[in-house]
Structure 1
Amino acid sequence: MIGFLLRRLGASVVLLFVTALLTFVLLSIPNQDVGRQLLGMQATQAAIDAKNAQLGLDRPILVQFVSWLLPALQGDLGRSWFSSENVAVAIGNRLPVTLSLMISVTIVTAVVGYSLGVWAGVRRGAVDRFVQIFSVAGYALPGFLVTIVLVIVFAVQLRWFPAIGYTPITTSFTGWLATITLPTIALSLSAVAGIAQQVRSSVIEVMRADYVRTLITRGLPPRRILFRHVLRNASAPALVVLGMQFVGLLGGAVIVEQIFGLPGIGSMTIKYTTQGDIPVIMGLVMLSAIGVVLINLLVDLGIGWLLPKARVS
């Protein structure tokens, strides 16, 4: 298991370095006159050149990258070109909002998706058809449309939840729960549909295996067969899908945070990307890359625990 973990960690370090290098190079290729954007159209060319030199934009791209990388390895992501705000602090202030949303969605997706998938795979019949129809509908409905409907019905008309805003969990748990409920439902619908369909297919496949039939003929209790044998082997594919959906939540969070007025990473990404603020964009990209690496590592460890043979692959 230690060797398995070390191989994954080594690959993760290489992936993060390549991601950082390619992102920095791609962001630096466009010939954007940052100095003019900061000083305004009335600034003299001498002042603009001086500002670009102050930001280090007159140096080769690889030199700029190294100058960014060395402090970044120590946790210093620099300062925003446009607001002079410390990038690490700015991201840290917004991260709890997006993280609480993503964790809530993942918990709801795992619990509801697994339950529906196992229910459909074991019971079949009308239950199976219901879950498949729900999965198709969950995939087909656009996420932004679901979000708008939730706001109109439950926030505007029924007034059960606030339409916009965010309450930190440290301030009020009930307030946090109220502000996070509708965004969680909006992001969970398609994710639950995907997990339910994957679990359902895996459970049906494992239930048809010879060793499961043998256990049934030996008279073992159905619950023991399901929880100790079927789910252990059926959970690995669903775990991969769950990890991929967690990573994909960053994209969905951009839209949902804008609609619900949540001060998270998604809304921050839109603001600073339109400005071309490279220090902030690099910090956000590396945060996303680290998140992807950690999720993939956890998924690999989970699969390695569920299926020991996967550790040597």
Structure 2
Amino acid sequence: MNFKMKQLLAVARHEFFNQINSFSYWMLVFIPLIIITALFRYVNLTVDFHNSDFINMVWGLSIPVLNFLFCLIYVGMMANSVARDKTSKLSEMLMSIVDAKEQINGKMLGIYMLLSCQIIFYIIFIFCLSKIMHNNFLFIFIGHVKIGLIVYSILALFVSLYMFLAITVQFACFITDTSQISSATIPPMFFLLEFFCLSLFYNSLGSFDYSMVWILYIICMWPPVGSMLTPPLMASGNISYLFAYSTLIIQLIIIYILYIKSIHVFKYGLLSNKKKNIFIEGFKFR
């Protein structure tokens, strides 16, 4: 293992344990569990499991909502992490020891580790809950969803989160005091809400004619609206699985370009101690 990899893992480990030991993180984890428990206990879910099209459509429509919720949680964590390094006067020392690229990659890896642990924790919780309440509805439901749709949905979640984390870094690195954290999260959350609403709007239109499909093809190539819009379109049969996965590759290319820019902005922002307008600095092209 080379030195840079050790640095990356050290940053990721620090980020992971710093968040997992916080009370706010576990509050965000447990709130959805209350909703899940209430569904198992009080809601009489009757689904025709022979209607696979309906099941896949429900799954597809739930993915934009899950993407929105997960991104909403971890955008704030990333902003707090960058702000903590900046306001604690560690930025100069960190930049002299760990390169900006390793810092960003380490922070993102730590966030993805948290996300993976959260998903695994939910799976274990739902499994235990289903055994206690003798209700295997959710596992039976997932068992009827097409594998290709499940795989794409998971990849779409990670792609969407990656983009919003990169955007958050570009704004959070210009924070000079902790009171500005909320200002740094406003732009990525605004984009998140906008893309989420766009995905809901296009999915509410139902079936599309030939000319409209080509417009959707172009839209699906742009992250993260493509990651939120594509799963329901796959489930409804408006776009093919081949096209969906090809758009994911294009999204990754676009995100990589944004990632390269965010590294440069991150390095510049951490070394800047002057109080600046976060919105203007984050949107500047460097």
Q: Point out which structure has higher relative CO (alpha carbons under 8 A, 6+ apart).
A: 2
When normalised by structure 2's length, the TM-score is 0.33
Bigger Rg over Cα: 1
